[in-house]
A and B are shown apart, each in its own frame.
Chain A
Amino acid sequence: MAEKVLMKGNEAIAEAAIKAGCRHYFGYPITPQTEIAAYMAKRMPKIGGTFLQAESEVAAINMVYGVAGAGFRVMTSSSSPGVSLKQEGISYIAGADLPALIVNVQRGGPGLGGIQPSQSDYFQATKGGGHGDYHLIVLAPASVQEMADLTGKAFDLADKYRCPTMLLADGTLGQMMEPVEIPDVEVTPVEKPWAVNGTKGKRAHNIVNSLYLKPDQLEKTNFERFEKYKQIEENEVMYESFMMEDAEYCVVAFGIAARISKNAVVAARKNGIKVGLIRPITLWPFPTEVIAKAAEQVKGFVSVELSMGQMIEDVRLASGCKKPVLLCNRAGGMIMSPEEVLAKIDELAAL
């Protein structure tokens, strides 16, 4: 058993990544995720790893592309405006079917926005982000402990499916301190016969590439990749269900918004409103079937988000628009109180 320590969410990600066998980190300073880079700068040289402060987010993600191509566990981290810059490289990593971890500790936008917490990169994270047809596996932690646990999980999923994985956190989770146990994980080396690490004269050359000038070949790679995505949708959906057994109303929220919502759900129950919470942990694949099933059970949904309403579209789609879906949101770095969520639950119950 590892011991429990008090850590910032950002530091928990960094230490968990090291425990998961990641020895290569490339980043660029941006608030509110810089502690990840600072932690890596301190630790990596002591354990024979790489910490490199790149000249830009664009360069950092392309360094990640190189290391991922060579078959090593590798990561970068940033916050919203920086993650926009990384989209080119993320698309190439997805197109070349390489495993890598990208951490986005979100802040308010658009543009330079602010430095306070936000969830307004949901569309960017779950719907592609860069050019072309692709998905990232997107994991949304809601505590410092989950920042650590899902980091290890993200590396495993990336290797298992040969695809880039994103940890989508926010400024609150990145900055807040909680007791956390960084799990000692057994890292099983994954065979990567496709890696570019030198032929040693023993095999034909490997090529890491996303270019297919013949359209039939490019189409084929797209269809094959989406077969893989189908498997991920079938096997890797993660969510938390809270007080849903007898629920007549359902709150859907992820990350820090889910923690606020939990308080509101408990308060509403005290007031006699039977409400529960579904917290998607994987944002892609989205727990579509879980929401669809809930739509048979409940009278309506509230989507609680730190954005102008992005996940709400997936909630509506998953529920087949059979039940009303209300939005409880704050934006720009503002955070809703449990009372604001409670008021929205009351509004739904009064419909």
Chain B
Amino acid sequence: MIVFEKPKALTDAPLHYCPGCTHGIIHRLVAEAIDELGIEGITVGVAPVGCSVMAYDYFACDMVEAAHGRAPAVATGLKRCMPENIIFTYQGDGDLASIGMAETVHAATRNENITIIFVNNAIYGMTGGQMAPTSLPGQVTQTSPYGRDVTVAGYPIRVSEMLSTLEGPEYIERVAVNNVKNVRNAKKAILKAFKNQVEGKGFSLIEVVSTCPTNWGMTPSQALEWVDTNMIPYYPLGVYKDKTAAAAEAAKEE
């Protein structure tokens, strides 16, 4: 009996990510969702600029590599010309919440029927550990060597909270992958985000609180712990918007 195998939606290419980086887990969860829904043959993924720039080599479905921050616009184009296909983007915090904030907000407000996997590890990994829009107050990075000074650099952006103020989006949830329980929840959320698209419900974004042991200057296990002690307190996990659930709730009350 097979009890564990690699999802079919992942290729055999070895991942280039650093030891202890949680991109591998998140890739796997996305691939499992694609497998479980049986949608690999109609799925097109959009890779960002950042550490997951080469995600197009890892996912077995058709893939597009987008310019920095533009993945939601590229996904919009793909979805508008192929409404029957499943379109997802996989983006980091610099990509989605800094240079691509306009594309993110407007795809959300249009309730574009796409799925966004937003990996928030509070740092620019690929370029060597610079301050991100989600770096925590006081966090030391290459471009905030004395710690993020909020009077100079402003405050980290809570993307899920901000987007959930919009009328448009269908579903927004923040999850983490730093322990087994959180990974299981993340799996459920990612699966739902894809299922929503299959059912035509609209824009679903899953923010995954993630790690960067290399640029945080920690061991993998310290990094997982730092998620609990520093990241989650600033970025609380949970469902921030679920229009379908809210409508069902409202119907029950009537």
- Which A residues fall within an 8 A CB radius of B? 23-24, 26, 50, 52, 54-56, 58-60, 62-70, 72, 74, 88-89, 92, 96, 196-202, 205-211
Contacts and interface: CB of A to CB of B under 8 A. Distances in A.
Classify the secondary structure of B's interface with A: helix
B239 to A, nearest CB: 26
A89 B70 contact: yes
A208 B64 contact: yes
B56 A209 contact: yes
A70 B56 contact: no
B12 to A, nearest CB: 12
B85 A62 contact: no
B110 to A, nearest CB: 8
B77 A207 contact: no
Nearest to B105: A55
Given A59-B103, A201-B41, A67 B56 contact: no
Interface of B: 11, 40-44, 46, 53-54, 56-57, 59-67, 70, 73-78, 80-82, 85, 102-103, 105-106
A72 B81 CA distance: 8
Contacts of A92: 66-67
A58 B57 CA distance: 26
B102 A24 contact: no
Given A55-B106, A62-B66, A199-B62, A70 B78 contact: yes
Q: Which one of A23, A92, A196, A201 has the greatest number of beta carbons of chain B within 10 Å? A: A196
Contacts of A74: 77, 81
Contacts of A205: 11, 59-63
Given A55-B106, A199-B62, A65 B74 contact: yes
B62 A197 contact: yes
Contact of A66 (B59, B60, B77): B77
Contact of B78 (A69, A210, A211): A69
12 contacts: A24-B77, A50-B81, A58-B70, A60-B73, A62-B67, A62-B73, A63-B74, A66-B75, A70-B81, A70-B82, A96-B65, A199-B41
